[in-house]
Amino acid sequence: MAKNISVLSIFAVVVFVAIFLYSQEIDLNLKNSTFITGYILLILMLAVALFNSRKKLSMLPLGKASSWLVFHVVGGLLCMAMFWLHTKTLWPYGIYEGFLAGTFYLVSLSGILGYFIQKNNARKLTETEIEVIYERIPLELLEIREKVEDIIVECTEKTGSDTLANHYSATLAWFFQKPRFYWSTLFGSLTPIGVGKPTNWIHKQNNPVKKYLNDEELKYFQEIDELANLKVLVDRHFVYQDLNKKWLLFHVPLSVALVALAFWHLLLVEVYAR
């Protein structure tokens, strides 16, 4: 992917230089190059926006998603260069133009941030060494919780001791109920209430109860501990995949708004500036 980005980046630079020189020639001939650069910028923004449509049509043979992502990233950077070439300033005059520029910068910055978020999250998800579809996470957690509760019931029936059952009711039931430690998982640091990372919390809760369990109970306890660690991995998938989706809920609507504003800007220019 890095090689594809390098090749396409070089091509984008060549294209931008060619457009820049052509716009300079137009201006030297006492004509207005903003019309040409504006149309090119709008077409490029539409092409970059097609990436979201490609993801929704993944069943069609429209090329590799990774290739579309490379085009989306490089095309987005080319859009920024074209925007500055078109406006000839970092921040244009006028209320509407300023609002349009602000929206453009928000889309660009959220895109850059989202690229690094998704790249980092992909690495974090790979480190878990398991694959979980986001929509199946509630079912995965339910299955883990049911397995734990079955182990608790079996342990109580066969050993005649309710130590492990009481420990589960008092502490672990909260943990297995739903995804936990969202922020500490996301940032890898202590939570505001000082609970700590998920694995640290599990060890802190489980270690004291070990000395009250006999050898037979310890076997059941080990199974529960393994399921708790599995849930930590599923929780990580929930956190990182949830962040990916929430970022899109910010970036995609902004992109749609930007394209709509750009079309309205084009209409005003064609009606009043020609």
Specify the pLDDT at position 220.
95
Angle 126-128-131 from CA coordinates, rounded to 5°: 70
More confident residue, 200 or 58: 200
What is the distance between the alpha carbons of residues 34 and 204, in angstroms, rounded to a whole number?
Answer: 64
pLDDT surpassing 80 at residue 59:
no
**Numbers of helices and strands, H then E, in the chain:** 10, 0
Q: Are 72 and 118 in contact (CB under 8 A)?
A: no
Distance separating alpha carbons of residues 175 and 145, to the nearest angstrom: 9
For residues 50-61, average pLDDT:
60
pTM of the model as a whole: 0.81
Averaged pLDDT for residues 124-130 = 91
pLDDT band at 65 (very low <50, low <70, confident <90, very high): low
| CA 233 to chain CA centroid, nearest Å | 18
What is the average pLDDT value for the chain, to the nearest integer? 88
pLDDT (0 to 100) of residue 87: 92
Q: How far apart are CA 40 and CA 111, in angstroms?
A: 20
pLDDT at 190: 39
Percent of the chain beyond pLDDT 70? 89
**pLDDT given at position 32:** 86
pLDDT (mean) for 213-237:
94
| Predicted confidence (pLDDT) at residue 96 exceeds the cutoff of 60 | yes
Query: Is residue 224 predicted with pLDDT exceeding 90?
Result: yes
